[in-house]
Amino acid sequence: MGTVVVDLGSSTVKCGLAGPDGRVARRTARPMPTELGADSAEVSPAALTAAVREAVRELLVDRPAVSDVVITGQMGSHVWVDDGGRPVGKAVLWSDRRDMPAGTALMSGVNAAWFSEVSGQRYPTLAARSRWGEQAGRRGDPVPLRQWLVRVVTGRWCIDPTDASVTGCLDIRAARWSEELGRRLPVPARSLLPLRAPDEVIGPVTGDGAALLGLPAGASVRCGAGDGPCASLGAGATGADACLTLGSGGTLRMVVDEPVTDRDRQATCLAFGTAAGRYVISLPVSNVGFALEWARRTLGFDDAAELDEAARSAPVDPGLVFLPYLAGERFPYWDRGRTAGLTGLRAHHDRADIARAVLVSIGCCLRRAVEHVLALGVPIAAIRVNGGAARFPGLLSLLAATIPLPLRHVTAESLEGAALLAGGTGEPPAPGRDVAPADLPADLLDLAYERFIAASEAAPGQGRS
């Protein structure tokens, strides 16, 4: 009997069919039908369910035996629902920034250190979305997008600890909704869904769920967890190993047994509640795939693989500094207004040199993230790297030379991690391969890092949010 996994990614809806060992033997995908604006990122619930249905039906075209269904996906995305749980309007994705003024106003009346200590978060996502929705005239109440899809499939509401943590309303140590947070950062009671463990069976796929999404009626639906923690679980990054997932942005995560809160409000801490670990420390940067795609398009490379190969042929020039803040930046600035830039450009530089500078800048951003987590007192023995942007050997070898820890590239991601929640073996589906560092002088990379940090500190922006 197999497990169907659905992953609501930022750019792609992915589906997989996994065996009892958690290995995904078959995959399908459809583009996430996201509608992007200057500060907005929305998706029509009808368009989303259509994309899921197409991917599921292709996955199950020969009608394999299915026992379980798990849905994972982007955390911090919400859809507004009415009293009957029906969506009213478009869903707002995690990257939507229109709630920032509302969130800033809410945090002005709350002790930020206290909020971070209790919730493990740096931003009151659900309260900010709720306040923004009221101001924008949205009807209904916001609920996490993934949980709404579970409700579509089973007819029942639930939320796991990872998505509950991201709301900013969960007491992560007590693993329950915080009444005090609820008073100081009010949200609709309907938005605080019943808490369930990630591996808990919520109910069977209903007839309506089967008709809407193409899933087999009667299969057991698990509560699941967010895509980041699932990616760590799928990569086997538990214990002393960290997971570095490289997509449009990049996120460094550690699965740990005790909560770790950051006095600087940089890293966040999610409740997880699995056998692999009870908490997930998370630190995100905004520009990995974003920077690669911009450079590919602007420099005229046919694809990112060609850019990666050209970058490997160019020397590292510490005087040529690229700031990759094309989508603003999260860690360490939390500034959507911070801008990208290129300094030190001379007549002898060509597009390969600029491509090399782009890769170096990504390496510097991620080295800075690793150093911050280590400074929190969290030991990291090695890093397992996964995600779509991890398929480029030039970027991986540069990271291995820039970050002073062993790196291992693994192809297993959130699909595999979610499948393990449905009763897999608990072992990583694939061991991966060690990444050999690029043959670059350490002092040269250190100098490039120092100049990158100095240029970043001087870059214009709106200030920390």
What integer is the mean pLDDT of 367-386?
A: 96
What integer is the mean pLDDT of 346-366?
A: 98
Residue-level pLDDT at 432: 87
What integer is the mean pLDDT of 108-125?
A: 94
**Segment 443-461, tens digit of pLDDT:** 999 999 999 999 999 877 7
Q: In what order do the strands lie in the sheet containing 91-92?
A: 34-36, 41-43, 91-92, 78-81, 141-144
Residue-level pLDDT at 462: 65
Distances 426 to 18, 73, 93, 236, 423 between C-alpha atoms, Å: 13, 20, 30, 8, 8
pLDDT at 276 over 90: no
Strands (E), 170-294: 170-171, 176-177, 201-204, 220-222, 241-246, 250-256, 268-274, 277-285
Place of tokens 């009892």: 20
pLDDT at 255 over 90: yes
Angle at 179 between CA 174 and CA 183, to 5 degrees: 145
Residue-level pLDDT at 427: 59
| Contact (CB, 8 A) for 368 and 226 | no
**Confidence band (pLDDT; 50, 70, 90) for 425?**
low
CATH, range 2-229: 3.30.420.40
Which amino acid, residue 384? R
Peptide bond into 332 cis (omega under 30): yes
User: What does the DSSP 8-state code read for residue 178?
Assistant: -
**Segment 295-350, tens digit of pLDDT:** 999 999 999 999 999 999 999 999 999 999 998 899 999 988 899 999 999 999 99
Helix (H, G, I), strand (E, B) or coil at 284: strand
Residue-level pLDDT at 77: 96
Residue-level pLDDT at 192: 96
Q: What are phi and psi of 279, to 5 degrees?
A: -140, 160
Q: Do domains 2-229 and 289-409+435-458 have the same CATH topology?
A: yes
**Confidence band (pLDDT; 50, 70, 90) for 465?**
low
Helix (H, G, I), strand (E, B) or coil at 24: strand
Q: How far apart are CA 17 and CA 55, in angstroms?
A: 11
The domain segmentation of the chain, as residue ranges, is 2-229, 289-409+435-458
**Segment 200-240, tens digit of pLDDT:** 999 999 999 999 999 999 999 999 999 999 999 999 898 89
Lowest-confidence region among 37-46, 272-281, 373-382:
272-281
Q: Which CATH class is domain 289-409+435-458?
A: alpha beta
Q: What is the mean pLDDT of the chain?
A: 93
| Contact (CB, 8 A) for 253 and 228 | yes
